[in-house]
Amino acid sequence: MSTTRGTFGEYLEPGLRKIFNAADKAIPRVAESVLVTGGSTKYQEHFITEGGFPTATEVDEGDSVTYADPVQGYKKTLTNYKYGLGFQVTEEMWDDDQYGRVKRFPRKLARSLRHNVETVCANLFNNGFDSTTCADGQYLFATGHTQLDGNTYQNKPTTDLDLSVSALEAALINLQLIEDDNSMIVPYTGKYLVVHPNDQWTAKKILGSSQEWDSANNAINPLKGELQLVVWPYLTDTDAWFVLSDKGDRDMGPLIFWRSHPDFKRDDDIDKRIAKFNSMQRYLVGAPEWRGCYGSSGG
């Protein structure tokens, strides 16, 4: 006897929801391992940079200390967008499903939602040399980031380079010499090396060898264990690579702020006896600030 319409959708929902939630938790979250994460409470969030204070000066006995006011910097507005997808199960499909196909649908849906997040976040880097812009109006990885005092700083090689020992050393030095908007050095320490799967073997040799892997001189490798390797399949340029500082040092980017995490909801078409399931999520991504990031599109 067929399942009656009154209990069809309700009967399916708890089990399919459990499968969806388990699959969602099991999928690797590469994007959030390197992006600054947070929550959002509005349709749009506004990010405003601030200029730094000048260097402290000597104060003679009896003299007053000098006071400095923070200077408002550049503004970047990011918008929350909604993404979703669903599937339908007819009563006949469920009754006649001898191979458990329906139970695979929630897993596929969870993967679809996660694929969306990884793609949108990775595009910050994929487009970081020609489209993704920071609050200063420059691309995320540029040779002329404009500071409030008029000076400029670069967070990419002047000529893009493939991943190598010398290129990676130059990236780490660059991060340590980053300046604030008063041209005061505010050093960042590289923590993550982000690469496409095609570059993972080169990256592992650079970061894992006790001696320099590309030399016969048996010299020590100062980069051994220096960075945490992140292999990101959603990067589209096979020889692009990126170095990022700790997320705690990059309060404004690159980032993903969640308005609502993936849900799992059901509705029914009583006339056609179809149970409908869908999931939606809402979030914003962007890179208001470039400091703490270094990248190369490869040679």
Query: Tell me, what's the pLDDT at 287?
Result: 97
Q: Is residue 67 part of a domain?
A: no
Token code pair at residue 113: 């939602």
pLDDT of residue 8: 59
pLDDT at 182: 85
Full domain range(s) for residue 189: 5-51+73-296
Give the per-residue pLDDT at 227.
Answer: 97
Query: Averaged over 244-248, what is the pLDDT?
Result: 96
Is the pLDDT confidence value at 212 over 60?
A: yes
Residue 58 falls inside a structural domain: no
Radius of gyration of the chain (CA): 25
Is residue 226 a contact partner of residue 207, using CB atoms and an 8 Å limit? yes
Report yes or no on 64 lying in a domain: no
Does residue 185 form part of some domain?
Answer: yes
Cβ-Cβ contacts under 8 Å for 35 (sequence gap 6 or more): 121, 124, 247, 254, 255, 256, 285
Residue 154 domain flag = yes
End-to-end C-alpha distance for the chain, whole angstroms: 66
In a domain, 61, yes or no: no
Write down the pLDDT at residue 253: 84
Q: Within a domain: residue 57? A: no
Calculate what percentage of the chain has a pLDDT beyond 90. Answer: 73
Structural domain includes residue 242: yes
The CATH number for 178's domain is 3.90.1690
Residue 114: pLDDT band (50, 70, 90) is very high
Domain count, the chain: 1
Q: What is the pTM of this model?
A: 0.90
> Residue 152: what pLDDT?
93
Give long-range contacts, CB 8 A cutoff, 24+ apart: 208-211. Answer: none
Q: What backbone phi and psi angles, to 5 degrees, belong to 172?
A: -65, -35
